[in-house]
Structure 1
Amino acid sequence: MTSQKEHKEFHSVDMDDEGWHSPPGYPLEIEQKILAGSLDENHMTGNRTRLLRFKPGAYTTMPFVHDYWEEVYLISGDLVVGGADDAQRASSFSSNTYACRPPGVYHGPFRSETGCLLLEFHYYSGPPAL
């Protein structure tokens, strides 16, 4: 597997149905669309850019942790982080907010009251080469 993403010029992205699917371990109300690249978590190589969307009321129940870098930009909607039980404080975010997480950082659980759209970059070691 190469660590470089494929060359893609400007093209329309189908925001309706084509190419959307629930990632492993996520509820069906949360879907991803891979825009470029691929991530091989078994060999800890690669990088990917994806859209992740939550339908209104969608939620996860457990925090996530992974061994790759993750950058997340909330394009639209609302995202509530934490607060799965009374011991956790919840924080609510709206569009134009950003997170950058190094490997090994626990984050979540997540929920969205109105639904949201996220742009995410995942990569090993450091930012992907341009």
Structure 2
Amino acid sequence: MAKPEYEFFPVTDVDFTICPGGDPKITERILADDPEGNVATRILRYEPGADSTPMGIQKHDFWEEVYILEGSFTDLSLNQTFTAGMYACRPPGMPHGPWRTDEGVVTFEARYRSKWDDA
């Protein structure tokens, strides 16, 4: 199954929901997803003071591209802070996080599988 087809629509029509892990300070607005493939396009929001340490280091079995729209957050494993205007492209299996933010952060993310991943 593929992500659904959508023409332009206001993303504010999609509510933020609490991300897996259950921290109410870490929410996502799923814009499009493929439930069978565990891939999505989303806006991720960490409120000020959010900390994903309980979720540990993340590794996915899909590609993930992230663009920071607003704010900043710190990768606690790398002890490095990333700010608005920065971009990451993570292949499957690349470790990242956990994350913490003092000011809050909003990112745009695209998750997908490559036709070459199983080759």
Normalized per residue, the structure richer in helix is 2
What is the TM-score normalised by the length of structure 2?
0.85
SS at 1:14 equivalent = helix
Matching of residue 22 in structure 1 with residue 18 in structure 2: yes
Whether the 8 Å contact between 1:73 and 1:119 is mirrored in structure 2 is yes
Find the aligned partners of 2:22 and 2:79 in 1 and give their Cα distance.
20
Gaps of 5+ in 1: 83-87
Matching of residue 81 in structure 1 with residue 75 in structure 2: yes
Distance 1:77 1:114, change over 3 A: same
CA RMSD of aligned residues (A): 2.0
Gaps of 5+ in 2: none
What is the TM-score normalised by the length of structure 1?
0.78
Return structure 1 stretches of 4+ with deviation > 4 angstroms.
none
Q: How does 1:1-130 map to 2 (within 5 A)?
A: 2-3=1-2, 5-14=3-12, 19-40=15-36, 45=37, 47-61=39-53, 62-82=56-76, 88-126=77-115
Find the aligned partners of 1:10 and 1:99 in 2 and give their Cα distance.
25
Question: Identity across aligned pairs (percent)?
Answer: 37
